[in-house]
Structure 1
Amino acid sequence: MALRDEHQQQVHELTKNHRQRRRSAERHPVWDFMFSYYPVSPGKLSHWHPGAGTWLDMEDTGEKAKVASEEKQHLLPHYKDHYVQRGAAWGLDLQRHWDDREKSISYMHRLLSLTKQRPPQLGCFGLHEWAMVYRDTPRHPEPLRLGAEGTNQVVENSQLKCTHIDAFRFFTPQAAPRNELRPTRETQTELEQPGCLHATMDVYKWATKLGPLLPGELWLRTFALACDVRVLDMEVSPYDLQEWGFAPVKIEEPAGRAEYVRRQQELMRRGQALRGEILDILEEAFPHLRAPSS
């Protein structure tokens, strides 16, 4: 299957450096996050799916004779018992998949839909990483670019406007009360907004959880976007990462804040487009998810 082979080759290239570091037990302050916070190994990322509604013709692929063999799971996309063979075709049984995952699919559809519709907030300036070290011990061994007191001053001279629970929950006890909001897991669908770097990065998380409903090439585009968000997330952070090849975005200065917003908007645009593609696929597969027309 050409698409599967292309997917696996792309993953091989995308994860090559990470796999080399892992073999040498080397850490990386930026890229390790992509395989630890998001628990998707390079091996798991290489698992390809054709996507909802796409059926593989086993006669065309030349693998029909192997479908019933013990090699089936290595040759064909597989997700628990939701893939079925119908004649010479192999594909996802959408009804069985919905029956098993209705609650989670409905939640992800609602979160992605509400986030896509909500107006963006572009005045956070990536201060969440600063709030994670405010008047406390840094979480990473890299030095603080402005030192401890300089970092504290930037936080105290700014307004913390974080809307994302998975950033806010790492704020120091001294920083949390300074935030305008108190995001919780229960309020995530109410607060998630498309300007948030972490919400944009998490499009990859939701694509991963949706698994076989999405074609592999779309999943890899969400991964690529998450990697690009990670770069800005760390370049705007208080850590000095220049020896790792990451130039700082100095949000303590007007030019740095302008650069941050410009890049934030471009990442948001890409995230919104991917949300739209995912929602289209979900609503095509499960039409009852569509909002009723007025």
Structure 2
Amino acid sequence: MTISRHLERFHGLPVHDFGEPGEEGELPGAADVAWRLAVEEWESEESWPELFARFAAAVDLTRVRALVIGTWGESYENSPEPVREALVKERERLGGLRALFLGDITFEECEISWIVQEDVTPLLTAFPALEEFGVRGGTSLAFPALAHPALRRLTIETGGVDAAVIRGVAASDLPALEHLDLWLGSSWYEANTTVEDLAPFLDGGRWPRLTHLALHNSEIQDDIAAALATAPVVARLRSLDLSMGTLSDTGAAALLAGQPLTHLTRLDLHHHYLTEEMQERVRAALAPAGVEVDLSEPETADEDGDRYVAVAE
């Protein structure tokens, strides 16, 4: 699996590309869309700061609700520091900003494992009213623990993320958080998260509003499933996502043998390594209770018995 398409909707809004110089066309209302800002990854006619200055001159920043940031140039070599500096500089005029996605980049522009990031928490600190934040790319990504009063949705998409990022998220004070989506990735790309690192997500003592938990795209999917079998947080969830990883019959059996899952509205297991017999066991246990179960994209281990996550490089 590769990321081949840009976001089409974000924060409940259609994504609108702010065009290249002279190609902006008729612009929608500032608050009516999620604005996508990107410069060409090679030989762009303008730098990202120049793009943002042109955007700020054409669109009323005080009414912008959502921003989607695409390539900021050679994203495989350079961090999004110019993006951060431009946004933080305009934080007062961007006081209505409620959603930000950093790194809406397809594989043709830059493979997910090559996208260079940085410490993204200054963006959250600069926008205390932000309700949704997403970031794609794990190289040099940092997320030291912080407090944020308004954040409801947090997404971190990587082909491999350092456990320090996960521990930083786990230690953060996010009282409004409802939706957490973490792509843990492959050890080929520096993924090293353990179940112990995930314990603060699982014990149910933090984030009382959390109703959706995605711990997926992981090589330790069986271990995560086994831990969730007795994790207190599960009782408060409405949806659980263990997709895109290396889940096998071992993990699925542990999950079914644990606490009831029939209160869930959705269990996402797509891209898995379950046998047909285990898939039927999962359906039989949950479908009669009305749980929507996604068991699409069944995979088969290779001749050496190796299993792979859906998104790595």
Scaled by the length of structure 1, the TM-score of the pair is 0.22
The answer to which structure, 1 or 2, has the higher relative contact order (CA under 8 A, 6+ apart) is 1
Determine which structure has more spread, i.e. the larger CA radius of gyration.
1
Scaled by the length of structure 2, the TM-score of the pair is 0.21
